[in-house]
Amino acid sequence: MGTPIRSGSFRTATERMKLIVGVFIGVVFGFFLGVSLPTLSLSKMNLPSSLLPSFDLTYVEDKYSNLQNRKMSNGLPRSNGTKIWVPTNPKGAERLPPGIVNSESDYYARRLWGQVHEDLPIKPKYLVTFTVGYDQRNNIDAAIKKFSENFTTVLFHYDGRVDEWHQFEWSKRAIHVSVQKQTKWWYAKRFLHPDIVAPYDYIFIWDEDLGLENFDAEEYLRLVRENGLEISQPALDPRSGYTWQMTKKKNDSIIHKEAEEKSDWCADTHLPPCAAFVEIMAPVFSRDAWRCVWHMIQNDLVHGWGLDFALRNCVEPAHEKIGVVDAQWILHQGVPSLGNQGQAEDGKAPWQGVRDRCYKEWTMFQERMSQAEKEYFQAMGITPPNSSTNYFG
- Helices 13-36 and 57-73: crossing angle in degrees, nearest 10, is 20
The number of CA neighbours under 13 Å toward the Cβ of 128 is: 24
Spatial contact of 325 and 228, defined as CB atoms under 8 Å apart: no
| Rounded least distance, CB 287 to ligand NAG, Å | 16
**What gap in Å lies between CA 151 and CA 144, rounded to an integer?**
10
Near ligand NAG in 145-184, by CB under 6 A: 148, 150
Name every residue whose Cβ is closer than 8 Å to that of residue 123 and which is 6 or more positions away in sequence: 106, 108, 199
| Rounded least distance, CB 318 to ligand NAG, Å | 15
251 part of the interface to ligand NAG, by CB under 6 A = yes
| Rounded least distance, CB 110 to ligand NAG, Å | 20
386 part of the interface to ligand NAG, by CB under 6 A = yes
| Rounded least distance, CB 220 to ligand NAG, Å | 11
**What gap in Å lies between CA 139 and CA 49, rounded to an integer?**
57
Q: Which is nearer to ligand NAG, 48 or 121 (CB)?
A: 121
**What gap in Å lies between CA 51 and CA 349, rounded to an integer?**
67
Q: How far is CA 245 from the centre of its chain?
A: 29
Q: Which is nearer to ligand NAG, 150 or 227 (CB)?
A: 150
80 part of the interface to ligand NAG, by CB under 6 A = yes
**What gap in Å lies between CA 256 and CA 244, rounded to an integer?**
13
Q: Which is nearer to ligand NAG, 36 or 386 (CB)?
A: 386
Pairing mode, if any, of strands 322-332 and 210-211?
Answer: antiparallel
378 part of the interface to ligand NAG, by CB under 6 A = no
69 part of the interface to ligand NAG, by CB under 6 A = no
**What gap in Å lies between CA 99 and CA 106, rounded to an integer?**
19
Q: What is the dihedral of CA 135, 184, 227, 235, to 10 degrees?
A: 40
74 part of the interface to ligand NAG, by CB under 6 A = no
Near ligand NAG in 283-312, by CB under 6 A: none
Residues contacting ligand NAG: total by CB under 6 A:
7
Q: Which is nearer to ligand NAG, 54 or 387 (CB)?
A: 387
- When binding is defined by CB under 6 A, the residue of 135, 163, 213, 218 that contacts ligand NAG is 218
| Rounded least distance, CB 392 to ligand NAG, Å | 11
Q: Which is nearer to ligand NAG, 136 or 388 (CB)?
A: 388
387 part of the interface to ligand NAG, by CB under 6 A = no
- Residues listed for the chain: 393
| Rounded least distance, CB 104 to ligand NAG, Å | 21
| Rounded least distance, CB 148 to ligand NAG, Å | 3
Name every residue whose Cβ is closer than 8 Å to that of residue 366 and which is 6 or more positions away in sequence: 306, 389, 391
| Rounded least distance, CB 239 to ligand NAG, Å | 11
Binding residues for ligand NAG, per CB under 6 A? Answer: 80, 148, 150, 218, 251, 385-386
